[in-house]
Amino acid sequence: MGTTQSGILAGRLPLAEYEKNFSDLHPPLDKHEALVAADRCYFCHDAPCMTACPTSIDIPLFVRQIATGNPIGSAKTIFDQNILGGMCARVCPTETLCEQACVRNTAEERPVEIGRLQRYATDTAMRENKQFYARAASSGRRIAIVGAGPAGLACAHRLAVKGHEVVIYDAREKSGGLNEYGIAAYKSVDDFAQKEVDYVLSIGGIEVRHGQALGRDFSLADLAEQFDAVFLGLGLAGVNALRIEGENAEGVDDAVDFIAALRQSKTKVDIPVGRRVVVLGGGMTAIDAAVQAKLLGAEEVTICYRRGKEHMNASEFEQDLAASKGVTIRHWLQPKRIAVKDGKVAGIELEYTTLADGKLTPTGETGIIAADQIFKAIGQTFESFGLGALQMEGGRIVVDAEGRTSLARVWAGGDCVLGGEDLTVSAVAMGRDAAESINRAFAAEAPLASAVA
Amino acid sequence: MADLRNNFVGIKSPNPFWLASAPPTDKAYNVERAFKAGWGGVVWKTLGEEGPPVVNVNGPRYGAIWGADRRLLGFNNIELITDRDLYVNLREMKQVKMNWPDRALIASIMVPCVEDAWKAILPLVEETGADGIELNFGCPHGMSERGMGSAVGQVPEYIEMVVRWCKQYTRMPVITKLTPNITDIRKPARAAKAGGTDAVSLINTINSITAVDLDTFSPEPSIDGRGSHGGYCGPAVKPIALNMVAEIARDPETYGLPISGIGGITTWRDAAEFIALGAGNVQVCTAAMTYGFKIVQEMITGLSDWMDAKGHRTLDDIRGRAVPNVTDWQYLNLNYVTKAQIDQDACIKCGRCHIACEDTSHQAITQFVNGVRHFEVIEEECVGCNLCVNVCPVENCITMVPLAAGTLDKRTGKPVDPNYANWTTHPNNPMAREAAE
């Protein structure tokens, strides 16, 4: 049936539409498609795609392994560098990473489909439950990891490979971090995030404790006392506020909550959405919220971004995706006031902006967009509770190239550190590299008495 | 418009593209379709002697190797000569020739190496109105185990003997088809000529196993878990065929002997190359078996358009034009110096030229210049080997540029000598003698 009534309502669409709308954005390649796609790779030397990958996956090698009928070997090539290669194959903005660097672009403006090939290989191995790694003999070392997101999981896996024992603390009910809660539903269907977590943890030696929040249930000092090392992969738990009139009205929501609710809903039928939706922001979160609002049956969805198209953090591909789903993207508009009627959102007044001497400046001209729901996607913030004397800068944890913080035996990585890139794949790289750094630090210390015996 | 009409040892066809004796020419149905598509002639699938028909395997009879995107590069078969009754074939040949008088129809023949067998079949073939015969001394599988096909083609004395019988018992032109499964192709060609053959055709297929099934460890094509070598053909064999054609074309003993070129011809360009190396016409099989008979239309238009562009009016204008340029290594000009040059606008920066040169050749291509990924030829190291040209995925991105006489070769530090000089007079040659040319 469905409805076009105003207000924030669930069940705007006929049942069948939900399944269609939230199916896989990039369906997996079948074997033939994978072979054809893999044949296009030139097996470049010192390949630009590999350099462009934050985890430095040996892309020419894994693609050649697919082309020669060895998808399992291909998956190992991927996992050696990136144990979350399955999720990265789905969510990486490949158009700005490996595929942008592909030399095929130069001649044909059409790169090798690296992301989809990576998914083909990793799906094949995970479907067959191929386990490539075994734990080294127990080192007797114990490491605490805070945050079971991409950085924490990558760190934990690498530490487990080295024979260390890991305990992961996570404030939420499920592991995966943004992979579980922060990604548009159509990018990771069939509960893939949880399957991947299970696949990663199956190496053993990793215990996950859910519902455990840093600063509430324990402090960094507690962990430092109980463990040989600590890795902080905290992510960004807070969201920026608008600080304008009407922000507290019913119908003004955080985009991240909306995205998380969608991911946790099996059918999406139960997720309410406005008839006219305005999304504030210019990043991936804004796109993910806007597109999914549209897919839930919102009649009008408008993204309002206070700067120009060229300043948007969302990739060109994501912007095009939004446009193809019927989302309107408007630029040079910043929120001024939320119009409220009977305690509920009725619209939003926006003010045009311009760049004056390189500085964003309101022009004084305003306009109103009628809306019954407004999503805030204007950036996330790091919530630093229970971190003690840890050195911070710009609201993020300061780390060196190996992920070492200002405190001895404390490492950090992912979005919570200064220079974090808001990318799953970058978080994986930082977690993995921190694990190597931790391992080196242990090796440099005197061996444990128990290990000597 | 270029004139593609072909006259090969008196056999006329509207174009030089014949279908080789093979599955596509096994019966009237196929041959009629081929002529409708535009083929200039066919060599009918090889006829055997009268009697119980030949028996083929009932499992896979073809194997292949592929390139990127599963393009068929090489093909082999273990099929024998026609497995249809001799008289059915003869009847159909006669009818087809009547239906298509302007097309060439050649009968391929393989009978035991005894005079009576040849004496018996030749009048039957002649009666069909066929334009000529081709002696199948080439098939390397199955029939060769019974003393026919390549078993004959590998013994020059047998070739000469059988050709002589054929010339004796028929008025039809005789084309002797040669096997490449020998050491020196000139020997069987000379023997055929000595026997009086009107022409040779080559190459027949090459002994081959295309693959091994790694689950069953059976060679491919696999018949119930076992395999036998088959005859290899298709694009992959073209270079072997071109060389053998050239060897016969430039051999003083067979010079001028008409040649029907066969071996991996897939495009008009391949055909033109065979003709340039001395072939009077060409025969095609694998390309037709891969893409169907329509490909002849690309061959005809391509050859004609190229001839028009170059001002060649007839096939005689191009035939053999490359033959004088085929020589022995010892006569190659050692004062000819080339250097690779990379067109930076065309370069896609795959790095393959660099790694090929760096790992396997002369360390003559940069990877970085001023810290930036940049591929450039280091002339001081470049020996002009052409490896980079061959591995580059972009056509014409890397070219070999000859150094003009007098310019400095940075590798040797010497100016390029304007004079031709070859190994025969080179000071490093212990056998050095006065230049032969």
A178 and A286, same structural domain?
no
Q: How far is B28 from chain A (nearest CA, A)?
A: 37
Q: How confident is the model at residue A452 (pLDDT cuts 50, 70, 90)?
A: very low
Instruction: State whether residue B314 is helix, strand or coil.
Output: strand
State which residues form the domain around A283: 243-379
Residues in A touching B366 (Cβ below 8 Å): none
The verdict on B373 touching A (C-beta cutoff 8 Å) is: yes
Top residue of A33, A35, A103 to mutate, by most chain B CBs within 10 Å, is: A103
Nearest to A42 among B69, B354, B393 (CB): B393
**Of the ranges A8-17, A344-353, A434-443, B202-211, which one carries the lowest mean pLDDT score?**
A8-17
Handedness of CA B98, B100, B106, B109 (dihedral sign): negative
Q: Are A410 and A224 in contact (CB under 8 A)?
A: yes
A301 and A265, same structural domain?
yes
As a whole-number percent, the residues of chain A with pLDDT over 90 amount to 92
Question: Is residue A134 in some structural domain?
Answer: no
Residue B147 has pLDDT above 90, yes or no: no
Helix axes A424-444, A150-161, angle to 10 degrees: 40
What number is the average pLDDT over the span A389-395?
A: 92
pLDDT digits (tens, 9 = 90+) for A337-363: 999 999 999 999 999 999 999 999 999
Residues in A touching B68 (Cβ below 8 Å): 39-40
Q: How confident is the model at residue B143 (pLDDT cuts 50, 70, 90)?
A: confident
- Of B112 and A2, more confident: B112
Sorted by where each starts, the structural domains of chain B and their CATH numbers stand as 6-325 (3.20.20.70), 329-425 (3.30.70.20)
A321 and A195, same structural domain?
no
Residues in B touching A103 (Cβ below 8 Å): 348-350
Nearest to A39 among B69, B349, B355 (CB): B69
The verdict on B414 touching A (C-beta cutoff 8 Å) is: no
Cβ <8 Å between B373 and A43: no
At A169 the pLDDT is 98
A102 and A78, same structural domain?
yes
The residues facing B339 across adjacent strands are B401
Q: Which of B91, B80, B93 is nearest to B46 (CA)?
A: B80
Which one of A379, A407, A431 terminates a domain? A379
pLDDT digits (tens, 9 = 90+) for B259-276: 999 999 999 999 999 999
The verdict on B355 touching A (C-beta cutoff 8 Å) is: yes
Cβ <8 Å between A46 and B373: yes
Helix axes A150-161, A192-201, angle to 10 degrees: 20
At B251 the pLDDT is 98
Cβ <8 Å between B349 and A35: no
Handedness of CA B9, B10, B16, B20 (dihedral sign): negative
What number is the average pLDDT over the span A255-274?
A: 95
**Of the ranges A34-43, A65-74, A385-394, B335-344, which one carries the lowest mean pLDDT score?**
A385-394
> Over the range B106-136, which residues count as b (16 or more CB within 10 Å of their CB) and which as e?
bbbbbbebeeebbeebbebbeebebbbbbbb
Instruction: State whether residue A364 is helix, strand or coil.
Output: strand
At A2 the pLDDT is 73
A305 and A373, same structural domain?
yes
Nearest to A103 among B69, B349, B367 (CB): B349
Residues in A touching B70 (Cβ below 8 Å): 35, 39
State how far the Cα of A429 lies from the Cα of A431, in Å rounded to an integer.
6
Residue B435 has pLDDT above 80, yes or no: no
Question: Is residue A210 in some structural domain?
Answer: yes
Instruction: State whether residue A272 is helix, strand or coil.
Output: coil
Question: Is residue A388 in some structural domain?
Answer: yes
Q: Are A117 and A63 in contact (CB under 8 A)?
A: yes
A319 and A428, same structural domain?
no
* φ, ψ of residue B408 in degrees (nearest 5): -80, 125
Residue B437 has pLDDT above 50, yes or no: no
Number of H helices, E strands in chain A: 18, 17
What number is the average pLDDT over the span A319-330?
A: 96
What number is the average pLDDT over the span B80-105?
A: 97
Indicate the pairing of strand B62-66 with strand B259-262.
unpaired
CATH number at residue A166: 3.50.50.60
Q: Which of A155, A228, A229 is nearest to A436 (CA)?
A: A155
Helices (H), A128-228: 150-161, 178-181, 192-201, 220-226
Q: How far is B236 from chain A (nearest CA, A)?
A: 19
- pTM for the structure as a whole: 0.91
Instruction: State whether residue B296 is helix, strand or coil.
Output: helix
Question: How many structural domains comprise chain A?
Answer: 3
A221 and A297, same structural domain?
no
Residues in B touching A36 (Cβ below 8 Å): 69
A99 and A55, same structural domain?
yes
Question: Is residue A14 in some structural domain?
Answer: no
At A453 the pLDDT is 42
Q: What is the DSSP letter of B259?
A: E
A174 and A232, same structural domain?
yes
Cβ <8 Å between B349 and A104: no
Question: Is residue A197 in some structural domain?
Answer: yes
Q: How far is A108 from chain B (nearest CA, A)?
A: 10
In DSSP notation, B16-82 reads: SEEE-SSGGGSSHHHHHHHHHHT-SEEEEEEE--SSSPP---SS--EEEEE-GGG-EEEEEE---S-
What number is the average pLDDT over the span B221-228?
A: 96
Q: How far is A37 from chain B (nearest CA, A)?
A: 9
At A1 the pLDDT is 59
Residue A203 has pLDDT above 50, yes or no: yes
CATH number at residue A103: 1.10.1060.10
Q: How confident is the model at residue A448 (pLDDT cuts 50, 70, 90)?
A: low
At B57 the pLDDT is 95
Q: How confident is the model at residue A41 (pLDDT cuts 50, 70, 90)?
A: very high
Handedness of CA B292, B297, B300, B302 (dihedral sign): negative
List the beta strands (DSSP E) in A222-270.
Answer: 229-232, 238-239, 252-254
A263 and A226, same structural domain?
no
Residues in B touching A46 (Cβ below 8 Å): 351, 355, 367, 373
Residue of chain A whose Cα is closest to the Cα of B359 = A45
Q: ipTM value of the model?
A: 0.88
Mean pLDDT in chain A?
A: 95
The verdict on B12 touching A (C-beta cutoff 8 Å) is: no
The residues facing B109 across adjacent strands are B47, B135
Element (H, E) at A410: strand A410-412
pLDDT digits (tens, 9 = 90+) for B62-75: 999 999 999 999 99
Which one of A127, A153, A178 terminates a domain? A127
The verdict on B73 touching A (C-beta cutoff 8 Å) is: no
For residue A294, give both structure tokens. 């549209």
SS (HEC) of B214-249: CCCCEEECCECCECCCEEEECHHHHHHHHHHHHHHH
A409 and A317, same structural domain?
no
At A449 the pLDDT is 55
Question: Which residues of B are catalytic, by number?
Answer: 139
Nearest to B349 among A35, A43, A48 (CB): A48
Residues in B touching A44 (Cβ below 8 Å): 349-352
State how far the Cα of B26 lies from the Cα of B43, in Å rounded to an integer.
9
